[in-house]
Structure formats: structure tokens, C-alpha cells
């Protein structure tokens, strides 16, 4: 079998969407003649911990872990906060001076990201691996995009193909796009981005808009997908509640209050106390202001769940809410969660650009409806329509052929590309 070295900062027990893409691809690509080896962290700054993901990794996949300094420990000591904020560089008025100062330093003096402190140790181990084993290909995946700098240095010393996988944009990622940064820091970041893209044998992106938005270079699009096996033996069951669910974090640019206001009006107007809105893995503590502000919604707050339990929540719903961050680069946002929503066959109600990649796929698969920001009337119409179907005891699930977005098919495309430098 051909040998593939995958360098990724995030790997189980890290939880959340950042690990799912390469857990699934590394597992499935073995069916097409590739043996992956994972180089990752032993104790990284992880947004979430999900030990249940370990069982999804085949014993035949070798995982090499290296130690790394953890900024999260420093952040905890200085601020008293248990967790390092993830996916945002935003600060609020009531944040401590220390937190504001640390975020100021991160925004203006660090490029591309704080997790670059892993690179020295990872590079040392990667060089040792390449001297002992003839790898056919290296893939680095980001965020964190500092990981691509490891591939850049390896390529300059070893005759091996190297592909940089962009799960999100680099300099135009949402938390950079929404924050002011020093000019010099932005220029250094852009320089590193351009250097990686120009030197990599090819850049892999999850959407065509991200590919178009990145600097010029060789690029191919390989979307995320869902694992069919995750949904085996899980069947939708009608409940006495009409269940609308949002699963995941609320990051910068994902506004929820106007949506809840619309749902609250609907619940009041139709006098149905059985409209339930669930936040799954969104809040660690229940925000009491929601119940006070939206009195006609039956709220349910569920802390972070294991991946398998989250999949079950997706199936047992009438509407799954998908929020696309409201910023200039959002047309290319294709979250892994969206594909798992598709795999659940539950109706997807998306709020975001109607001419973006997410809308294109949802429409193609008849998986739901994407509504542009602030289109309250259309949002109201969709919810009322689904609620009427539920009241009539109609079971509405998506029966379209969604196989092209299974992780097995995505892995096959990746294998075709690695074998031939082109997508099959």
C-alpha cells in the first residue's frame, strides 16, 4: 500500500468538527490502497474533549503524538477561565483587562496563529519519520494554518509530494476578517499564506468559493461528508413536541436572537405550547435571559454531547437550524455539521447566503431551505409549513440520493486525486 503522512494538530480525544474530516478520510482511504499515518499532538489546546471518538479510529492506523506547549494553561492561570476561547478573537466590555490584553497580542503580534508553538516539535518528529519511511505523500490540514508551515519546510528538504488541506480560509477566516489587526501582521500572514499555496503541489479546499478566495495556485475542491454508519439503527420518532434544534457553537457572525424572536411570535400566534427549541452543545450554563425574553418557546439546553449522541439529536428533530456566519467570505462556508445534517435526513433550515455553496448543495439534494439574513417572512413561512405537516402527523424526511456526500465517496475522490493528481 502507498503511504500517506497526515499532519494535523487536532485528533481525538479532541472533539468537535475540527477532527471529523480526517478521522473519516483516513479510515476510508485504506479501501483504496493508501495507508495513513497520523502525526498529531499529545496534549494540545483542544476546543472540546470527546473520548468516544477514539473507538472510530482503526487500530491499523498508526498515530504518533508529540508534546506541545499549551497556551490554554497560561490563559487559565492569568484569567481564571477554564477554557481558551475557540473560533473567535472578539472581546466584550465586561471581559477582564488581562483577557483583552492577551487577545490584543494574539490579533496583532502572532501570525498565523498561537498553535505555531507545536511546529518545532512536530517538524523534528516528521523529519525522523521521513528518513525512516518512504512516504508517497504528505497532507497538512488547517486550521490551525500554522500546520502548513511544517509541510513547507519538509518539502524543501525531502522529495515528497505535499498537499495543504484548507478546511477554512486563512487570512480571510471569519475571526480575522471581523477584527482589526496591525498592517505588518496582516502582511506577514498574507505572505505566509501565499508561500504555502505557491509551494504546495496542490491546495485542497472544502468549497469552490474558498478556492476562489485564496491566492493564485494549484487547487482542487474536496468537500466534507457524512458517515453512513453513524446513522445506522437510528430511526426518526415523532414526539409530542415540535422540535427545532441548533447543534454547535455560536461563533462570530451567527446571530440567533432575531430567529428566536420569529419563532416566539409563531408560537404565540398559533397558541402552541409544544414548540421546543434546543441548543445542543452551545452553552455550558443555561442562559436565563432566553426564557425571560422569549416566553412562548419551550427551551431545552443540552451541554456538549459525544458525537454519537449528537447524531441521534439530529435525527430526532423536525427542523435543524444551520447558521452561516454573516461576513464577506461566507459563500464558501461548508461546515461538516451541514453534511451530518444531510445524513440525518431532517429538514435543514439555513440562514445565510442564498447564492453560496451551502445553499447550492441543500437545494441540489432537496434537503431543506436556505434563507438570506433578515428575511423574517420567509423564515416564518417555512417554520409554519413544517409545523402544519407535523400537526397532521405527516412524517417528512428527505428521501433524495445523498450518497455522493458520504465519506466513503469523498475518500474515493481523494484517492483518485492522490493517484493521478486529479479528481476522479
pLDDT tens, residue by residue, 140-170: 999 999 999 999 999 999 989 999 999 999 9
Each residue of 20-51: b (16+ CB within 10 Å) or e?
bbbbbbbbbbbebebbbbbbbbeebbbbbebe
pLDDT tens, residue by residue, 377-391: 999 999 999 999 999
pLDDT tens, residue by residue, 199-209: 999 999 999 99
pLDDT tens, residue by residue, 253-298: 678 889 999 999 999 888 777 899 999 988 866 777 888 889 999 9
First to last CA, the chain: 19
Pairwise CA distance, residues 45 & 86, whole Å: 9
What percentage of residues in the chain have a pLDDT greater than 70? 93
For the chain, percent helix, then strand, then coil, each to nearest 5? 45, 15, 40
Q: Please give the average per-residue pLDDT across 399-410, as a whole number.
A: 96
- For residue 226, pLDDT beyond 70: yes
Pairwise CA distance, residues 6 & 180, whole Å: 33
The superfamily in CATH containing domain 228-403 is: Glycogen Phosphorylase B; (3.40.50.2000)
| Better-predicted residue by pLDDT, 304 or 3 | 3
pLDDT tens, residue by residue, 31-67: 999 999 999 999 888 888 888 898 878 889 999 999 9
- For residue 173, pLDDT beyond 70: yes
Q: For residue 58, what pLDDT is reported?
A: 85
Q: For residue 302, what pLDDT is reported?
A: 93
Query: Is the CATH number of domain 2-225+406-420 3.40.50.2000?
Result: yes
Q: Do domains 2-225+406-420 and 228-403 have the same CATH topology?
A: yes
Q: For residue 245, what pLDDT is reported?
A: 97
Q: Please give the average per-residue pLDDT across 99-104, as a whole number.
A: 76
Predicted confidence band of residue 369 (pLDDT cuts 50, 70, 90): very high
Query: Which DSSP category does 61 fall into?
Result: S
Predicted confidence band of residue 213 (pLDDT cuts 50, 70, 90): confident
Nearest to 280 by CA among 307, 256, 302: 302
**Domain layout of the chain by residue ranges:** 2-225+406-420, 228-403
Amino acid at each position: 500500500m502507498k503511504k500517506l503522512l497526515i499532519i494535523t494538530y487536532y485528533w481525538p480525544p479532541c472533539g468537535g468538527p475540527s477532527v471529523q474530516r480526517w478521522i473519516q478520510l483516513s479510515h476510508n482511504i485504506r479501501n483504496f490502497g493508501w495507508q495513513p499515518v497520523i502525526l498529531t499532538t499529545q496534549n494540545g489546546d483542544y476546543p472540546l474533549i470527546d473520548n468516544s471518538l477514539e473507538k472510530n479510529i482503526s487500530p491499523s492506523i498508526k498515530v504518533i503524538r508529540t508534546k506541545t506547549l499549551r497556551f490554554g494553561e497560561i490563559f487559565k492561570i492569568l484569567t481564571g477561565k477554564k477554557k481558551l476561547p475557540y473560533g473567535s478573537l472578539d472581546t466584550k466590555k465586561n471581559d477582564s483587562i488581562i483577557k483583552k490584553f492577551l487577545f490584543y497580542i494574539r490579533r496583532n503580534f502572532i501570525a498565523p496563529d498561537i498553535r505555531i508553538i507545536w511546529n518545532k516539535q512536530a517538524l523534528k518528529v516528521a523529519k525522523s519519520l521521513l528518513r525512516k519511511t518512504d512516504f508517497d505523500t504528505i497532507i497538512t490540514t488547517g486550521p490551525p494554518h500554522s500546520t502548513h508551515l511544517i509541510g513547507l519546510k519538509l518539502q524543501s528538504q525531502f522529495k515528497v509530494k505535499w498537499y495543504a488541506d484548507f478546511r477554512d480560509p486563512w487570512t480571510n477566516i471569519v475571526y480575522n476578517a471581523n477584527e482589526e489587526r496591525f498592517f505588518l501582521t496582516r502582511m506577514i500572514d498574507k505572505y505566509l499564506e501565499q508561500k504555502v499555496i505557491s509551494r504546495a503541489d496542490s491546495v485542497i479546499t472544502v468549497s469552490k468559493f474558498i478556492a476562489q478566495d485564496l491566492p493564485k495556485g494549484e487547487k482542487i475542491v474536496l468537500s466534507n461528508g457524512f458517515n453512513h454508519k453513524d446513522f445506522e439503527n437510528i430511526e426518526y420518532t415523532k414526539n409530542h413536541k415540535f422540535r427545532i434544534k441548533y447543534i454547535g457553537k455560536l461563533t462570530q457572525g451567527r446571530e440567533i436572537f432575531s430567529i428566536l424572536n420569529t419563532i416566539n411570535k409563531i408560537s404565540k400566534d398559533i397558541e402552541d405550547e409544544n414548540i421546543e427549541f434546543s441548543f445542543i452543545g452551545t452553552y455550558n450554563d443555561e442562559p436565563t435571559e432566553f426564557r425571560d425574553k422569549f416566553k412562548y418557546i419551550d427551551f431545552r439546553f443540552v451541554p456538549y454531547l459525544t458525537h454519537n449522541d449528537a447524531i441521534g439529536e439530529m435525527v430526532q428533530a423536525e427542523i435543524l437550524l444551520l447558521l452561516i456566519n454573516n461576513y464577506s467570505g461566507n459563500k464558501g462556508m461548508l461546515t461538516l455539521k451541514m453534511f451530518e445534517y444531510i445524513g440525518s435526513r431532517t429538514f435543514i433550515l439555513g440562514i445565510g447566503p442564498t447564492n453560496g455553496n451551502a445553499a447550492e448543495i441543500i437545494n441540489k439534494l432537496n434537503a431543506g431551505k436556505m434563507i438570506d439574513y433578515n428575511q423574517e417572512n420567509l423564515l416564518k413561512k417555512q417554520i409554519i409549513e413544517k409545523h402544519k405537516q407535523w400537526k397532521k402527523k405527516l412524517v417528512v424526511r428527505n428521501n433524495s440520493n445523498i450518497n455522493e456526500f458520504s465519506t466513503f465517496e469523498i475518500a474515493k475522490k481523494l484517492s483518485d486525486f492522490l493517484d493521478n493528481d486529479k479528481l476522479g
